[in-house]
Structure 1
Amino acid sequence: MSSTNCKRFLVAKCVVLIKHRYIICQSNKVNKMKYHIGVCMFLAALHATSAVDYSTYPEVTRFREYVQINTTTGGDLEPAVIFWKKLAAAQNVSISVVELVEGCPIVILSWPGNDPTLSSVMLNSHMDVVPAVESDGWTYPPFSGQITSDGNIWGRGTQDMKSVAIQYYEAMSRLKAKGVTLERNVYMTLMPDEEVGAECGMIPFLQSKEFASLNVGVEFDEGTPYPVPFIPLFYQDKVVWQIQVDCYGVAAHGSTFPPTNATATGKCQNVINTLLKFRDEQYEIYTTAPETDAGVYTSINLNKINAGTANNVIPSHMSAVFDIRLGTKVNETSFAKQLSDWIETSDGNVTITYLLKNQQSPATLIGDSNPYWVAIAQAAQDLGITVVPLVPPGSTDARFVRLARIPAFGFSPMPMTELLLHAVNEHLSLETFLNGIDIYEGIIPAVANLSLSDVGAEPSVYVYDTNSS
């Protein structure tokens, strides 16, 4: 037995044991934590046995080249656009670049199907990545695409989400090479600014004539890795609200002693205490929430505080920025009023500014009445993988697609993988990466070959609202 086949055999045996252990560990969060630690130890030991020279794989070479392009949000994306033009030319597929906002290119690769009258399949990813600096503690430079002897590739974007973009491309290239017939057009779209809110990418794109011309019936977007023996499938996202609270009070010499509630810091303390009390209440809900539904609680974090100009001056102004991820059943109007009421009870001269206020995102229907879900579930069964519908704690560009009343699924095939999105030392097993190509090669045709009688012409019937706003 070859080393690769031996490793696959061991993986199969271990996954059976881990699945059994996962079921047992659902009783409480302590057990779940022990389970996740055990899985991570298993992964570390497993990858240490790798003896495969992945650097010789052309799919890996393309993935590595993409990781090596620094696409930090706000930077120059032209090298990434050139990269995708090269890949499109290699497969002789058309590519277009739409720039609805200056400096924000949106790339579209078109893979034609047999029947252009059918609604299309959109495979979406984003080119931009969050900042990464080697001095933060990276073992290897974050844009090196370093391949290590344990079979991992290191770099910013290896999990979020350059791997998925290359998996789309490789799966479509294989299908084309094998002469597999697809009835529906398939479009790969690459967005410029998902990491900072999609203001110049997905949001204006959905309103554009270029998007309308694609006639999208279903969208695939990013999911996330999990150290569990299944692949999460996101069918709804929690939306983001970010607020800045500004508090104003007396300014005086540091030796004076005004009442606490007369100072900017005292007023902000009242607001902070109120919001953190709400946070504690939501945290209690979180501790008992099912791992498959982060939508049952609203998370809130105090992420920035700013005040003062000198060490001996009582500041006249203090600001605090909170990041809030709304529960999926939260009424937006009611929650906004609640925030205003909390501000009004903080002894006056306090304002609230919305830095970001996303509209609640609908959910994609999961069940036998959604043929897209049925096709994915059947393909997963054929592939021998487990796909679990899930509401994540965060959000992706898919939330805007669902707002356009188009069903969307977040899906990153990275089971048994430590979650390192946005983390120092982000990396991914190349075996997991290559397996993901196989998975998309099975799922894409299952969805793209649904007939008009299977799906119908109106995608909005597969999207529904979960809140009462």
Structure 2
Amino acid sequence: MCFGSFATLGPAMAPGKTGKSTGPLEDPSVTLFREYLRIDTVHPKPDYEAAIQFLERIGTDLGLTGKTVDLSPGYVVLILTWPGTNPHLRSILLNSHTDVVPVFEEHWTYPPFEAVKDSQGNIYARGAQDMKCVSIQYLEAIRRLKTEGKSFARTIHLTFVPDEEVGGHKGMEVFVQRPEFRALNVGFALDEGLASPSDTFSVFYGEKSPWWIKVKCMGSPGHGSRFISNTAAEKMHKVINSFLAFRESERQRLKSDSSLTLGDVTSLNLTMLEGGVSFNVVPSEMAVGFDVRIPPTMDLKAFEEQVAAWCRDAGDGVTYEFFQKCMDQNVTSTEESDPWWKAFSGACSVRKLQLKLEIFPAATDSRYIRAVGHPAIGFSPMNRTPVLLHDHNEFLNEQVFLRGIDIYARLLPALASVPPLPTEG
């Protein structure tokens, strides 16, 4: 699911695939953004070391204190800190991930790691929206505020974490259990959101629970020329029909109610099929995998009972197991009485930003932050922008990027100046 002045200004990139400079000087924040995009942190072998060194360089330039936390070999969290004037107060956490998803380069107009900028100012690169933009926007907003001589009561921490794009199991999920995370004394966190094609800005106060379910069907084997009874394939057919009938009912519910977003319904997709050894042999075992994303409004226990019923109805020898089963359904308060939300929404109101509150349709590292008791909002300031996260030709316009810095330069003072809460004395 990002300001101030540099000693050196970087050149703009001319349209085309070469990435060579032929145009006028560009805003130094954009130059920095494009430099980050050119660091290849794509799975399955992200260059985390290069990304951390790049971010550490910026942190040093900004006068931020920095430390790294080794979670496991090759998996490092960078923490940059802008101390507040009252370190006893809970801090503001600005989180972003350094990894990006793979690309199918043949479908891209420009090479996905050259950060080409076209004549309209659109910057094409993997990570342009998800979420290297936000990382640089955080840093450049802090640059602007520090240049203006600002200081705030609450400490601001920036965390740059690995592994988010493959589940965060070696990243944020581990990090939130570490003493280094607890030492951050987090009060409120910002993390990634999504682009919005409309004038509104999407704000995510919760996430779906991702469940990956594998259903195994056992049945009678035999020769492919015979009508074998009680086959694994017949049972699988019933299982698939049950799951996909539910999928269609949720799709129709979303389609028929304009007040609903994708985050309000359960999405379900068949993603894997396994079974068979030969064309002329009826297999004794087949398996099917489903990716299910469940909103926090659904009763998780009741839904698992439904899954169990679908399997029972398919016949004997049908079992299921979970490869991922997130049970956390925490959501962040968006009540005006909540001091964090009041600060966030108030700063947006000053900028006349139209906010659309949503449940995130997929999953981000915010779920791990909420799970350990901290309010977190997913927000990427990209409106009037097509949603291209994980898609071909992912891009972000430089003016949208620069406006995002302006927005964070308003948000951070509001959040870091929230008065002491009752729990803080």
TM-score by length of 1: 0.82
Q: Which residue of 2 aligns with 1:374?
A: 342
Report the Cα offset of residue 54 of structure 1: 7.7
Q: Which residue of 1 aligns with 2:137?
A: 167
For 1:279-290, list aligned pairs within 5 A: 279-290=247-258
Match of 1:142 among 112, 115, 118: 112
Name the SS for the 2:206 alignment partner.
Answer: coil
CA distance in 2 between partners of 1:205 and 1:372 (Å): 23
Q: Which deviations, in whole Å up to 9, do the C-alpha atoms of 1:415-448 show, x marking residues without a partner?
A: 1110001101111111100100000001111110
For 1:53-452, list aligned pairs within 5 A: 56-75=26-45, 76-135=47-106, 137-259=107-229, 262-291=230-259, 293-452=261-420
Report the Cα offset of residue 329 of structure 1: 1.6
2:320 is matched by which residue type in structure 1?
Answer: I
Name the SS for the 1:131 alignment partner.
Answer: coil
| Greater share of helix | 1
1:255 is matched by which residue type in structure 2?
Answer: S
Q: Which residue of 1 aligns with 2:20?
A: none
CA distance in 2 between partners of 1:361 and 1:141 (Å): 39
Q: Which residue of 1 aligns with 2:19?
A: none
Q: Which deviations, in whole Å up to 9, do the C-alpha atoms of 1:323-343 show, x marking residues without a partner?
A: 111122212222212211211
* 8 Å CA contact 1:361, 1:400 repeated in 2: no
* 8 Å CA contact 2:221, 2:228 repeated in 1: no
Sort the Cα spacing of 1:407 and 1:293 in 2 relative to 1 into closer, same or farther, 3 A.
farther
Provide structure 1 residue ranges, at least 5 long, that are not aligned to the other structure: 1-52, 460-469
2:233 is matched by which residue type in structure 1?
Answer: T
CA distance in 2 between partners of 1:362 and 1:458 (Å): 22
Report the Cα offset of residue 412 of structure 1: 0.4
- After the TM superposition, which of the residue ranges 429-438 and 239-248 deviates more from structure 2? 239-248
Q: Which deviations, in whole Å up to 9, do the C-alpha atoms of 1:24-50 show, x marking residues without a partner?
A: xxxxxxxxxxxxxxxxxxxxxxxxxxx
1:187 is matched by which residue type in structure 2?
Answer: H
CA distance in 1 between partners of 2:310 and 2:212 (Å): 16
* 8 Å CA contact 1:295, 1:328 repeated in 2: no
Give the root-mean-square deviation of aligned CA atoms: 1.9
CA distance in 2 between partners of 1:292 and 1:62 (Å): 38
* 8 Å CA contact 1:104, 1:192 repeated in 2: yes
Q: Which deviations, in whole Å up to 9, do the C-alpha atoms of 1:28-78 show, x marking residues without a partner?
A: xxxxxxxxxxxxxxxxxxxxxxxxx68622111111111111112342311
* 8 Å CA contact 1:55, 1:147 repeated in 2: no
Q: Which residue of 2 aligns with 1:41?
A: none
Report the Cα offset of residue 101 of structure 1: 2.6
Name the SS for the 2:367 alignment partner.
Answer: helix
Report the Cα offset of residue 99 of structure 1: 1.7
2:85 is matched by which residue type in structure 1?
Answer: N
CA distance in 1 between partners of 2:351 and 2:379 (Å): 15
CA distance in 2 between partners of 1:69 and 1:315 (Å): 47
Percent identity, please: 39
Sort the Cα spacing of 1:428 and 1:55 in 2 relative to 1 into closer, same or farther, 3 A.
farther
TM-score by length of 2: 0.91
* 8 Å CA contact 1:88, 1:94 repeated in 2: yes
* 8 Å CA contact 1:55, 1:61 repeated in 2: no
2:66 is matched by which residue type in structure 1?
Answer: I
Sort the Cα spacing of 1:254 and 1:412 in 2 relative to 1 into closer, same or farther, 3 A.
same
* 8 Å CA contact 1:295, 1:329 repeated in 2: no
* 8 Å CA contact 1:118, 1:184 repeated in 2: yes
Sort the Cα spacing of 1:94 and 1:147 in 2 relative to 1 into closer, same or farther, 3 A.
same
* 8 Å CA contact 1:140, 1:146 repeated in 2: yes
Report the Cα offset of residue 358 of structure 1: 0.6
Provide structure 2 residue ranges, at least 5 long, that are not aligned to the other structure: 1-22
Name the SS for the 1:256 alignment partner.
Answer: coil
| Greater share of strand | 2
Report the Cα offset of residue 292 of structure 1: 6.0
Sort the Cα spacing of 1:83 and 1:326 in 2 relative to 1 into closer, same or farther, 3 A.
same
CA distance in 2 between partners of 1:103 and 1:359 (Å): 28
CA distance in 2 between partners of 1:54 and 1:321 (Å): 52
CA distance in 2 between partners of 1:450 and 1:54 (Å): 41
1:257 is matched by which residue type in structure 2?
Answer: F
Question: When the two structures are aligned, how many residues end up with a matched partner?
Answer: 403
* 8 Å CA contact 2:190, 2:378 repeated in 1: yes
2:296 is matched by which residue type in structure 1?
Answer: T
